[in-house]
């Protein structure tokens, strides 16, 4: 039997599509993000391919150690990437294969570089914001003024903005927890006028048949028309309709789906490595108005 035939036979034996479907099912049961799903599936495919399409059910700790060491030594991946690959494989075994792997002792760990954080002064930050306008300026101002991560800002919905108490509710952040953070006084007026234009576009989108948005968990089944409600709409929606990769539904998404490279703003605004800019993580312990946003200073 040729090498090609053996690989084909192995691929059929492990039933990779079925295994990956099981993996996706377990990820969605836990309401992980689509980006996490894509990453876990990708790392799992690489793991299987490295071992010549061998069934993961017939592999254990040593094969995982070889894979992780290969990523660090041969592929020279970053420490964060290797850590994500480990999480993906551990998730695969624990959920899809119902197997606990032994503690991995012989893994070559990718080196995590130690770098000094870069913190801009208030004047420098204002200079950066001064180069922006429109929705991009408003998003970047929320990153700096409210301590939001990029995706937290993009995923804001109309109902998450409380202009009366000048606070924002950040939903389903890392760790699947909500938090309340300060809304800078300087952004009250922009966040009053911006949704007016968004609502006009929302009405046109509904009329065009793609005005719905993705709803969390099972709310779409419980409230079939809620996806069109104004309160659930994104504050920063995409202009065009997008196809949901999980359901195939055609609906509006947030700005990132419209190919805006907002992530490039993370570093100059200090959100890549500097945790001190996220000043409002635990603001609910004192109340949102107890903290002054740096944008208002």
pTM as predicted: 0.65
Q: How far apart are CA 284 and CA 165, in angstroms?
A: 13
Position 239 in a domain: yes
Position 64 in a domain: yes
What is the extent of the structural domain holding 170?
122-296
Q: How far apart are CA 130 and CA 295, in angstroms?
A: 13
Beta strands 237-243; 250-254: pairing state:
antiparallel
Same structural domain, 50 and 183: no
Helix extents (H) in 92-154 = 122-129, 134-146, 150-154
Task: Give burial (CB, 10 Å; 0-12/13-18/19+) of 71.
Answer: buried
The per-residue pLDDT for 175 is 57
Position 102 in a domain: no
What is the rounded end-to-end Cα distance, in angstroms, of the chain? 74
- Number of domain units in the chain: 2
Q: How far apart are CA 191 and CA 163, in angstroms?
A: 8
Average pLDDT, the chain: 79
Same structural domain, 86 and 126: no
Q: How far apart are CA 74 and CA 68, in angstroms?
A: 10
Please state the rounded mean pLDDT for residues 18-28.
91
- For the chain, the residue count is 297
Neighbour count for residue 119 (Cβ, 10 Å): 12
Question: CA-CA distances (angstroms) from residue 167 to 14, 83, 178, 205, 262?
Answer: 51, 35, 13, 28, 23
Contacts of 147 by beta carbon, 8 Å cutoff, 6+ apart: 181, 182, 277, 278, 279, 280, 281
Token couple for 202: 């929302």
pLDDT at 179 over 80: yes
Cα 151–Cα 157–Cα 161 angle in degrees, nearest 5:
105
The per-residue pLDDT for 291 is 66
Q: How far apart are CA 139 and CA 224, in angstroms?
A: 30
Same structural domain, 165 and 81: no
Same structural domain, 76 and 149: no
Same structural domain, 80 and 154: no
Please state the rounded mean pLDDT for residues 239-259.
67
The confidence band for 186, taking pLDDT boundaries of 50, 70 and 90, is very high
Same structural domain, 72 and 129: no
Closest CA to 295 of 167, 169, 135, 147: 147
**C-alpha 58 chain-centroid distance:** 32
Say if residues 244 and 220 touch (Cβ distance below 8 Å).
no
Please state the rounded mean pLDDT for residues 200-212.
83
């Amino acid at each position: 039997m040729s090498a090609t035939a053996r690989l084909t036979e192995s691929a059929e034996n492990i039933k990779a599509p079925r295994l990956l479907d099981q993996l996706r099912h377990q990820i969605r049961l836990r309401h992980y993000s689509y980006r996490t799903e894509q990453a876990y599936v990708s790392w799992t495919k690489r793991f299987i391919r490295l071992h010549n399409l061998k069934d993961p059910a017939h592999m254990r700790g040593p094969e995982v150690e070889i894979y992780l060491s290969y990523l660090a030594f041969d592929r020279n991946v970053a420490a964060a990437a290797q850590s994500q690959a480990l999480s993906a494989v551990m998730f695969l075994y624990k959920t899809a294969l119902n197997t606990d792997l032994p503690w991995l002792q012989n893994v070559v760990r990718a080196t995590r570089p130690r770098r000094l954080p870069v913190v801009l002064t208030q004047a420098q930050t204002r200079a950066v914001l001064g180069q922006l306008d429109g929705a991009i300026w408003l998003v970047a101002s929320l990153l700096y003024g409210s301590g939001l991560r990029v995706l937290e800002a993009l995923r804001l919905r109309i109902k998450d903005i409380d202009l009366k108490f000048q606070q924002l509710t950040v939903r389903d952040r890392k760790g699947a927890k909500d938090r309340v953070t300060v809304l800078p006084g300087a952004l009250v007026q922009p966040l009053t006028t911006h949704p007016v234009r968004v609502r006009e576009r929302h009405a046109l989108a509904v009329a065009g048949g793609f005005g719905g948005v993705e709803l969390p968990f099972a709310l779409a089944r419980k409230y079939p028309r809620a996806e069109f409600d104004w309160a659930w709409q994104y504050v920063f929606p995409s202009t065009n309709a997008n196809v949901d990769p999980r359901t195939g539904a055609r609906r509006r998404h947030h700005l990132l789906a419209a190919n805006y490279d907002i992530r490039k703003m993370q570093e100059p605004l200090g959100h890549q490595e500097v945790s001190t800019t996220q000043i409002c993580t635990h603001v609910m312990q004192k109340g949102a108005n107890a903290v002054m946003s740096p944008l208002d200073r």
